[in-house]
Amino acid sequence: METKSNVLMWTAQAQIVLDTLEKDGVYYVKKQYIEEKYKETAWSFRLAYHFLGEGMAKRVPRPEEAESPVWLYKDPKWTGAQGGVPLMGLKIPSEELLLFDMRKWNKILNMSLVGTEEEVRAFDKELERQGITDVTDVLKNPFYPALKRKIMQSWEKLFEETDVEETYLQGAAWRIKREWVVS
């Protein structure tokens, strides 16, 4: 049963996470895991995760040990649980959870502008006018500060209060606690 103060969310985590929870009672993501997992594309994940971490810290108190959020989903189908990676159900206190629209988050991960269709079309035309064929060039290189600022300011829409369809509801928490695990 879900109460206003606890939210049922789902995550898929490697066995080492379960072992850490068993041993320590709490698990925190380490930034080095991001570097190891994403290798040459890690720069974009660092940028997106830094943005989310800064915004999240303004809304959910960050424990000193927390380096990066744990990804959570309202709908377990988005967790990517497969090949022996355990699916975990967690009852998380709402004050330790940031909820947002996963479609907006995916735009951020793709280094894209977050906006209405009209705003995105106008921005794409501006990129085309400037001869930019890959939006990641705007964020990867120092040559386009105004366009970079526009993209990154649009990302703030991730934190806007919206009525998100439950299937697209994603979340982040600074940690997983053993007592939150319900399945």
- Does the residue 12 lie in any domain? yes
pLDDT digits (tens, 9 = 90+) for 107-127: 999 999 999 999 999 999 999
What global pTM score does this model have? 0.89
- Does the residue 98 lie in any domain? yes
pLDDT digits (tens, 9 = 90+) for 168-180: 999 999 999 999 9
- b/e map of 49-59 (b: 16 or more CB within 10 Å)? beebbebbeee
Distance CA 84, CA 64 (A): 31
Contact 180, 90 (CB under 8 A): yes
141, two tokens: 């290189």
71, two tokens: 């990804």
- Does the residue 145 lie in any domain? no
- Does the residue 137 lie in any domain? no
CB neighbours of 29 closer than 8 A, spacing ≥ 6?
66, 67, 68, 69, 70
- Does the residue 65 lie in any domain? yes
Alpha helices in 59-144 (DSSP H): 102-109, 117-129, 136-140
Check pLDDT > 90 for residue 100.
Answer: yes
Domain count, the chain: 1
- Does the residue 54 lie in any domain? yes
- Does the residue 25 lie in any domain? yes
Domain with 83 in it: 6-110+164-177
pLDDT digits (tens, 9 = 90+) for 17-58: 999 999 999 999 887 776 777 777 778 888 999 999 999 999
- Does the residue 20 lie in any domain? yes
